[in-house]
Amino acid sequence: MIHSLFIVNSGGEVFLEKHWRSVVSRSVCEYFLDAQRAAPYDVPPVIATPHYYLITVQRDTVSLVAACKQEVPPLFVIEFLHRVVDTFQDYFGDCSESVIKDNYVVVYELLDEMLDNGFPLATESNILKELIKPPNILRTIANTVTGKSNVSTTLPSGQLSAVRWRRAGVRYTNNEAYFDVIEEVDAIIDKSGSTVFAEIQGHIDCCIKLSGMPDLTLSFMNPRLFDDVSFHPCVRYKRWEAERLLSFIPPDGNFRLMSYHISSQSVVAIPIYIRHNFSIKTGEQGRLDLTIGPRNTLGRTVDKVKLELTMPRCVLNCLLTPNQGKYTFDSVTKTLSWDVGRIDVSKLPNIRGSVSITPGTTNIDANPSVNVQFQISQLAVSGLKVNRLDMYGEKYKPFKGVKYLTKAGKFQVRM
């Protein structure tokens, strides 16, 4: 399936390559680099070259380019590449060029185990950690002295069972199952406050520490909300299609149970509003007045609020007075950042003041847009609610917990 994998940095340099079925020259990446130079933010995920198909993903500052000789399902390869990045982040805490270069040996060991002759083999993080120990200083020193590697000499028990994502013989003193429902709101709000576009990207992350081989069933109060879903391989898809229940034998430890999408066809509640007034007259100073407040939050506190405006090029400086938080203005990039913090409903955050412009300016650029960041704990803005969690196959009663979190994705308010 995958012949070679290339990891490219933000400067267009291939700093790591791994080959499985045959050695592919790194010059094939020129097709990807040409596409990236032509449209840096819209690189096609599949690029056809004379001899290979290049399937690409970009995460943070690195791009992963897989070279395939035959036609393959592109989503299958894309999902695997994202799994590679997630594994690097789980092992090293980041997936940057410097971190990968510092852990070359472990990276190659992981790629050897994750793909066998070009086909995915072991992609579960908890299974990989039994095969290859995560790096630490003491283990690195010991391996340097003894000449050993991080690869285990024994095969994980889960690799030999039908439930390949869970190791056998798991035992815990405290049996716990935690679920985090996290939703990101992508929205565009027009000048009058009406919603132009809004959708929700959500996922459910789990931390399961249960003894034995538990069989779990998770149900929702309103499962018809979902427009599109993606599941962990442990989920029984036919049961979901028939009953809208998540039935699964969970991996041990942390994993993502499902991702979902709620499109703009549904009614998406916008959790904040911004009252704004921005005016610039030719040859005079301008005025800026912004107020932000909560809406549709069911009494939950809106926290970690930050606003960012890219001002018109004619703006020289901003002399503003916030009643909460701090602001900065970068005169080079013309970016105004206001770190608000928590919204107090008794005294809404406000920032106002004057804007200096270039003398003699006759052509005023379009009004800026406000990019907003925020978090709301214990609220799923879609209205999604977990109904209950049932366990079969084991006799003990686990401790169960569910947390909800809503945060801004690409949230923009036009002024």
pLDDT, tens digit (0-9, with 9 covering 90-100), for 34-45: 999 888 888 899
DSSP string, 12-68: S-EEEEEESSS---GGGHHHHHHHHHH-TT---SEEE-SS-EEEEEEETTEEEEEEE
CA atoms 67, 70, 71, 77: torsion sign? negative
pLDDT of residue 31 exceeding 90 = yes
Q: How confident is the model at residue 359 (pLDDT cuts 50, 70, 90)?
A: confident
CA atoms 50, 51, 53, 58: torsion sign? negative
Between residues 171 and 358, the one the model is more confident about: 171
List CB contacts of 271: < 8 A, sequence separation 6 or more.
Answer: 185, 294, 295, 296, 297, 302, 374, 376, 379, 381, 406
Q: Which structure tokens are listed for 302?
A: 């809106």
Residue ranges and CATH numbers for the domains of the chain are 4-154 (3.30.450.60), 176-268+379-414 (2.60.40.1170), 272-377 (2.60.40.1170)
pLDDT of residue 60: 81
pLDDT digits (tens, 9 = 90+) for 219-263: 999 888 888 899 998 999 999 999 999 999 998 888 899 999 988
CA distance 66 to 63: 10
Average pLDDT of the chain, as a whole number:
87
Q: What is the mean pLDDT of residues 110-135?
A: 83
Predicted structure pTM score: 0.80
pLDDT of residue 134: 80
**Percentage of the residues of the chain whose pLDDT score is greater than 90:** 46
Neighbours of 299 (CB within 10 A): 8
Give SS3 for 332: coil
pLDDT of residue 177 exceeding 70 = yes
